[in-house]
Structure 1
Amino acid sequence: MSTISQDHAKLDSDTIADAIRLLVEVDPSIKVKSIIAEVQSRFIYTVSYRKAWLAKQKSIAKIFGNWEVSYQTLPVWLKAMTAKMPRSCVQIKTLLVYRESEEVQGVTVLHRTFWSFYPCIVAFRNCKPLVQVDGTHLYGKYKGALLVAVAQDGNQNIVPIAFGIVEGETVDMLEFFLTNLRRYVVTNDGVDIISDHHNSIDVAIARSNGAWSPPRAWHMFCIRHIGSNFLRRFKAPYLHKLLVNTRYSRTEQEYNKNYQRLQERGEVSTQWCDEIGVERWVLAFDRGHCWGHMTANLVECINFVLKGACHLPVTAIVRSTFYRLNELFTRKSVEAHESVRNGFTYSEFATKKVERLPCYHVLACCTNQHLDWQVHVHDMYKMSEICKVYRGEFVPMGDPSTWALYEGAKVIANWTLRCATKGRPKSTRYLNEMDSRDMRGPRRCTTCGREGHSRSRYPQHAGPSSTGGQL
């Protein structure tokens, strides 16, 4: 037969993990369907989805580290990183572990973590006072979300400034991330934050005690998310374009014109927009705080770049952000200094009018009248300022044997976030941090009372092919 459709017992997940090692190393986000196709083309067998998924997890563990051990090495790696770059920020929140109402000493469950490298903290001081925040799901062995905050320099380069791993995008998790972001990274006032249109981030900002509220900060909504929520609410694609045009209104007169058109097609839709507040989604009323940004595309781009990292263990995720930013800062620093030596500035290559940057017409008039055009350009767009964004250096981590000894509590995974593999029945019992395998005692048989096996593995229950029922 040229093909065999059924699974093969000898073709287990370990064999498949070794076969797809190179594929997973290049692209950790490879789809399970692609793994099934690779196995079929190589071994002429079509394996089950569950076996292919398990093989991918095992292959990732062999390349990037064991999933459970990764939680134990996370505080070790972060401590070493802060020792190399002392002014970096790391916040780890853990949960206590109990066994029969007694606290287990020396063991904690990772709840959520926040980190920002010192070069990123320095970079934001010379970027636009604009922050975009969004999250992406983790697709590894344990569920959760990776939160990312990004900024932008005067040359339209995206600069990630902070990261966080939480159990989901809920109010408490967003409050944890935004609180640390405001306290350690975005310390200046007059900033604008752009996010998706979701109630959870509104509640989290309301809990910030004014840290993310006017006049210290302004919160704007991404028009793409507003449009998505609008379509979900009204199922009217013909009004979506009009809604976007209303968002991009640069003057109050233009807004009133578009708003009237929207109102003529239904009062309910305009009432929905009024509940948001024009100052939070219309360009004409943002007072220049969003610097011409209408969407959260900057952070969406970073989420796409980190797509592969979201399939890795937690320590590998943090390491990935470290080395990717190290490469980014090194490359952009060289480019910025070369532009300064050549005497170039971003304003000379402007092709469209954005906030605080004149168009070609203004530059032409200044040249004709022998005026200094630089007085009309914000310092943010000058290459001398852009060089300051990337002046921070990432210090090499060095050999782990040279790191300081970690003396904190052992950190384990939260088994409530364990992904259920396909084909395995879901338990109806509510699990918590006490259900970790590290906290359970050894297996004990309920039939003979001995340790090392369960009742289902009791040797006396063996079939005719057993060796005799001896313990």
Structure 2
Amino acid sequence: MKVPKTITYNSLVDQLYTLIRADKSRIDLDLNVIYHFGSKGIPPSLISNDDDVAFFLDEIGTFINHRTPLCVSTIEKRSNEPLVTKTRELYTIPPVETKVNDDFCIDDDNENIDRPTCNDVLVKHNLQQTTSNEVLKSHDSSNNRGRKVRQVGEDNLWSTPLLLNQGEKGSTSASTAQLLTSSSSINSWEIKEGQIFENKQELKMKLHLYALKKNFEFKVKKSAKNIWCTVCVDDKCKWRLRATKLVNSNMFEVRKFFGEHTCSLDVRHKDHCQASPWLIGHVIRRKFEGDNVNYKPRSIVKDMSLSYGVLMSYAKAWRCREHALAYIRGTPESSFQKLPSFLYMMEQKNPGTVTHLQMDNEGRFKYCFMALGVSIMGFKTYIRPVICVDGTFLTTRCGGTLLCAMGQDANKQIYPIAFSVVDSENNDSWFYFLLKLKEAIGEVENLVFVSDRHTSIASALTKNFPEAYHGACIHHVSMNIRAKFKTDHFHEEFFLATKAYRKREFLRHFEKITFKDLAIAQYLENQVGFEKWARSFFPGHRYNLMTTGIAESWNNVIAEARGWPITCLMEFMRHTLQKWFFKRRTAASAATGPLATEVEVDLQKLADKSTTSFPFPSSQYEITVGW
């Protein structure tokens, strides 16, 4: 039934009376509709005026998964008899063959779709009690005993446009309303004539999955904007499918489908062309939801062989994995486009957060910086003023380097402070990162930085934090000595010297290094400098942070995320900090002592060790301990 967009309520009712051949003197029409938003519905809405009609016609002009049926209830005008209603569902779609301008059609005469008929369905006329996931309920009376009615649930939101035709007048035989339904869900394997898909791409995906499940191959015979025809790879086989585009819409309808294969099993292959990487990526993409999912290509090869009987190479499995990751996390290009919005929302939703995005002269990404407000506040208030800085490379095809600044809390746990994504570790990138870090944390008294001996870090610290102390990571110093002198026989004496609290103790261990290898001793004294690696000579307070181990540990935390697009990486780090801080706050709230758990453990070990010691005062401020 064709209706114009400007139709009035009274005109619509008159046309419906004519369509269902109802007597106005004996029958009233009640029009209702259930609008679906997402996967859930709302209670039925009564259509009673011109505004309701206009809204309904406008709503059904959207995508197919938002369209809703118009329920027409016929109510007999008899005051002395029980109220009985007869309900019809009118499904609305755009016309299939004839182009209609500014009109909507309640399609009732299209000969290209096989339409089932059904008898009258009797329901209680009690819309106030109808739930949001029902359209009809059975009426338990002698007139409709045993009848079944159709319910619209969350699993069947998309339906083929149909009109439930009225059966013979006066018929009361029990029957079930037969409806042809169409779902474009990729989890539904069956294909039939009359199915409608959101677009051509969805149709192609559904057919590829169908071929993968049924273990056969097909080829495209004709493909255009308005038509898509496929046949079996065997020219003698009768299997074929023909789908056309609906007028004034991107939707495709299966017009012809012959699903029986008459070809030989010899033409079927274990690695057929329909098992393409983009399709397998859709199949396995759920495996990559969540954090640090370690689903490798060899696992893909095994799972596809067991589940679908498809054999594929390691290289093809890798391409499938890349497609799946792109479906879940997007491409690097699209992620860079989302980055400005992400950084803006970080500042809006996280008070005190500092972010910055720097572009090059051509308007392309160059650097970005992020420091969460809670991290900044906690560092300035509670954390020891020692920051370990380090960089690690990113594994995306765009490359890049992640620079980070880490502290350590009282419980000896990693405390991330700030991050920056740059091109590489160079003078400009380190200067940018430390400049933004200075803007975030401000002036901090007795601040100490620990890093490797990268010259760019030393230069940037001198410019941005001239009052801060800079120490070298003793692990990196040890590795440099091994690489330069090709030996590690100094290892024990070197670490004893670095951790010595008194210079006298330090000199005792350093003399052993000098005795073993004079060249190494001269290198540590003249080129590296005692004040950079020895605790007893360091002008500031390094506490227990002699290495950049906490920064290296953070790099292990984000090892998998380093291969993600940039916005996903930043979100992963934010999410990780949120989990950590919540867990630590909960643990600290449950603590009963004044000290952190790790500190209590260390003190207990010292207390246990001191049970056999005997202290003897040697002066007013010194005590000699005997063992």
- Under a length normalisation based on structure 1, what TM-score does the superposition of the two structures give? 0.65
Q: Give runs of aligned pairs for residues 404-443 of structure 1, distance below 5 A.
A: none
In structure 2, the residue matched to 1:14 is: 278
CA 1:185–1:60 in structure 2 vs 1: closer, same or farther (change >3 Å)? farther
Cross-structure match for 1:324: 576
1:47 to 295, 310, 313: 313
What is aligned with 1:85? Answer: 350
Q: 1:202 to 1:264 in 2, by over 3 A?
A: same
Retained in 2: the 8 A contact 1:145–1:168?
A: yes
State yes or no: 1:171 paired with 2:448: no
Cα shift at 1:114 = 0.6
User: 1:312–1:268: structure 2 CA closer, same or farther, 3 Å change rule?
Assistant: same
Choose the corresponding residue for 1:69, options 334, 353, 359.
334
C-alpha distance after superposition, 1:133-186 (max 9, x if no partner):
112211123101111111122222221111111111222111111111122125
* Deviation string, structure 1 residues 229-248 (Cα, Å, up to 9, x no partner): 11111110212333222222
CA distance in 1, matches of 2:348, 2:427: 32
RMSD, aligned α-carbons: 2.9
State the one-letter code of the partner of 2:379.
F
Answer yes or no: is 1:133 the counterpart of 2:385.
no
CA deviation after TM superposition for structure 1 residue 94, in Å: 0.4
Aligned to 2:379: 124
Q: What residue is the counterpart of 1:252 in the other structure?
A: 503
SS at match of 2:457: helix
Would you say the 8 A contact 1:223–1:295 is kept in 2?
Answer: yes
Structure 2: unaligned runs, 5 residues or longer: 1-269, 616-627
Residue of structure 1 in register with 2:224 after alignment: none
Structure with greater strand percent:
2
1:222 matched to 2:222? The reply is: no
> In structure 1, what is the Cα distance between the partners aligned to 2:505 and 2:347?
51
Q: Which AA in structure 2 matches 1:206?
A: T
Matches within 5 A, 1:188-227: 188-208=444-464, 211=465, 213=466, 216-227=467-478
8 Å CA contact 1:310, 1:317 repeated in 2 = yes
- In the TM superposition, residue 328 of structure 1 has moved relative to its aligned partner by 1.6
Pair 1:148 & 2:416 matched? no
Local SS of the residue matching 1:237: coil
Which amino acid in 2 is paired with 1:117? L
CA distance in 2, matches of 1:221, 1:15: 51
Structure 1 residues 194-234: Cα deviation after superposition (integer angstroms, max 9, x where no partner): 112222322322333xx1x4xx2111111111111111111
Matched-pair contact (CA < 8 Å) for 2:498–2:535? yes
Deviations 1:89-140 (A, max 9, x none): 111110132xxxxxxxxxx211010111111110101111111111221112
Contact 2:297 2:314 in 1 (8 A): no
2:288 is matched with which residue: 5, 20, 24? Answer: 24
Counterpart CA distance in 2 for 1:349 and 1:203 is 36
- Identity percentage over the alignment? 26
Q: Matched residue of 1:290: which SS?
A: coil
Task: Report SS of the residue matched to 2:361.
Answer: strand
**Are 2:300 and 1:38 equivalent residues in the alignment?**
yes
Match of 1:161 in 2: 417
1:22 Cα offset (Å): 3.8
**Residue number among 233, 236, 247 corresponding to 2:487 in the alignment:** 236
Q: Could you tell me how far 1:30 is from its partner in structure 2?
A: 4.1
- Give the AA of the match of 2:600: A
Matches within 5 A, 1:394-413: none
Q: Secondary structure at the match of 1:293?
A: coil
Give the SS at the match of 1:159.
strand
1:283–1:300 CA distance, 2 compared to 1 (3 A): same
SS of structure 2 residue aligned to 1:140: coil
Post-superposition offset of 1:40: 4.8
- Name the aligned partner's letter for residue 35 of structure 1: P
Which SS does the other structure have where 1:131 is aligned?
Answer: strand
Partners of 2:314 and 2:533 lie apart in 1 by: 47
Match of 2:162 in 1: none
Q: Equivalent of 1:345, from 590, 595, 609?
A: 595
Structure 1 residues 9, 36: CA separation in 2 closer, same or farther (over 3 Å shift)? farther
1:297 paired residue number: 549
Separation in 2, partners of 1:347, 1:20? 43
Gaps of 5+ in 1: 1-5, 98-107, 369-471
CA distance in 2: counterparts of 1:63 and 1:16, whole angstroms? 13
Q: Which amino acid aligns with 2:482?
A: L
Aligned to 1:308: 560
Measured in 1, the distance between the counterparts of 2:276 and 2:450 equals: 47
Flag the structure with higher helix content: 1
Contact kept? 2:499, 2:534, Cα under 8 Å = yes
* Aligned 8 A contact 2:531 2:537 in 1: yes
Aligned residue number for residue 243 of structure 2: none
Could you tell me whether the CA contact under 8 Å between 2:510 and 2:521 is conserved in 1?
A: yes
Deviates more, 1:146-155 or 1:199-208: 199-208
Mark the CA change 1:348 to 1:35 in structure 2 (over 3 Å): closer, same or farther.
closer
Distance in 1, Cα, partners of 2:598 & 2:437: 34
In 2, Cα distance between the equivalents of 1:27 and 1:343? 34
How many equivalent residue pairs?
A: 337
Residue identity in the other structure for 1:261:
K
Higher RCO, Cα 8 Å, sep 6+: 1
Match of residue 94 from structure 1: 359
1:388-410: per-residue Cα shift (whole Å, max 9, x none)? xxxxxxxxxxxxxxxxxxxxxxx
Mapped to 1, the partners of 2:484 and 2:277 lie a distance apart of 45
Deviation at 1:63, TM superposition (A): 0.8
Query: How far does residue 267 in structure 1 lie from its aligned partner after superposition?
Result: 2.2
Contact residue 407 and residue 417 of structure 2 kept, 8 A? yes
Contact kept? 2:404, 2:419, Cα under 8 Å: yes
Separation in structure 2 between the aligned mates of residue 62 and residue 28 of structure 1, nearest angstrom: 16
CA contact (8 A) 2:446 2:540 kept: no
* 1:404-424, Cα deviation, whole Å (9 max, x unpaired): xxxxxxxxxxxxxxxxxxxxx
d(CA) in 1 for partners of 2:445, 2:566: 33
Using the alignment, how far apart are the partners of 2:606 and 2:509 within structure 1?
26
Residue type at the aligned position of 1:235: K
Contact 1:28 1:312 in 2 (8 A): no
Alignment of 1:252-271 (within 5 A): 252-271=503-522
